[in-house]
Amino acid sequence: MRGGTAAYPYQGDERLALARQALAENPGATNAELIPQLQQRTEKTYSRPTWNLILKSAREHPED
């Protein structure tokens, strides 16, 4: 992140980029369908509520 606060949740977070990519590859998918594949793309396991927030931000802000 370049100085200051984020303009929206998870801005600059690599998980947001992963979520955007997953949404682009699976445009009609639900969060429940996307979360398992997102979990496989990260070394650390994050909770479903965290992924739901990241996916919400990705849907609201599809680009930086």
**pLDDT of residue 1 exceeding 50:** no
Residue 8 lies in a domain: no
Q: Is residue 5 part of a domain?
A: no
Does any domain span residue 6?
A: no
Would 53 be classed as within a structural domain? Answer: yes
The answer to whether position 7 is within a domain reads no
- Residue, of 9 and 3, whose pLDDT is higher: 9
**Domain boundaries, position 49:** 14-60
DSSP line for 1-64: --SS--SSTTTT-HHHHHHHHHHHHSTT--HHHHHHHHHHTSSS---HHHHHHHHHHHHH-S--
In this predicted model, what pLDDT tens digit does every residue of 10-63 receive, in sequence order?
Answer: 999 999 999 999 999 999 999 999 999 999 999 999 999 999 999 999 999 998
pTM over 0.85: yes
Domain tally for the chain? Answer: 1
pLDDT of amino acid 3 = 53
Q: Rounded to whole angstroms, what are the CA distances from 23 to 1, 2, 3, 4?
A: 22, 25, 28, 28
